Amino acid sequence: MNDQKAPIIAAKNEGVITTRPPLPPFTHESAVQKVRLAEDGWNSRDPEKVALAYTPDSRWRNRSEFLNGRAEIVAFLRRKWAKELDYRLIKELWAFAGNRIAVRFAYEWHDDSGNWLRSYGNENWEFDENGLMRLRLASINDLPIKDTDRKYHWPLGRRPDEHPGLSDLGL
């Protein structure tokens, strides 16, 4: 799995392109791996790094915002993580077929006043032949929680392998 975290450069007739394994069509194993790689990327809170997983002309719907292309994705993620402090995310595979994956997720964060929230959502993803996401449709709801109700306590960054997932946490 570690070998697939870094993009692989592949030659193509019109120039050099980036591929992001695993590539479609997805199997259960490769879909689970793709979901975990996406979770790891988002937990890095590095907008430029995260944006590289999407096609240059990727289209998003995130809540009520509509984004087009990597530049808008980077700007969105910068705003997001400036507001959503101490962000920690868990994603879980819901379904997959061909070049599409559906996930459910929950993340915990606090605002600049120290108010904690858990945001729940579902995403539908569509990938190109190189494993880059070309479409992301996200529906998200926020639930205020008390600090004592938090379930994500790992150090900022990648969720440890031994940390429970959403189903294990009853989320």
Walk me through the domains of the chain, giving residue ranges and CATH numbers. 22-149 (3.10.450.50)
Q: CB–CB of 54/123 below 8 Å?
A: no
Q: What average pLDDT does range 51-62 have in this prediction? A: 97
Using DSSP bridges, classify how beta strands 85-97 and 54-62 pair: parallel, antiparallel or unpaired: unpaired
Tell me the residue type at 170.
Answer: G
pTM surpassing 0.75? yes
Asked if the model's pLDDT at residue 120 lies above 80, the reply is yes
Confidence (pLDDT) at 55? 97
What Å distances lie between residue 114 and 16, 34, 83, 86, 111, CA to CA?
Answer: 46, 32, 11, 10, 5
What six digits make up the tokens of 71?
A: 């530049």
Per-residue pLDDT tens over the stretch 81-109:
999 999 999 999 999 999 999 999 999 99
Q: Which of 133, 143, 166 is nearest to 58 (CA)?
A: 133
What Å distances lie between residue 120 and 3, 54, 128, CA to CA?
Answer: 30, 22, 26
Q: CB–CB of 135/125 below 8 Å?
A: yes
Listed in sequence order, the residues at least 6 apart from 105 whose beta carbon sits closer than 8 Å to its beta carbon are 39, 89, 90, 91, 92, 120, 121, 122, 123, 166
Per-residue pLDDT tens over the stretch 63-73:
999 999 999 99
Confidence (pLDDT) at 17? 67
Listed in sequence order, the residues at least 6 apart from 136 whose beta carbon sits closer than 8 Å to its beta carbon are 54, 58, 59, 60, 61, 62, 123, 124, 125
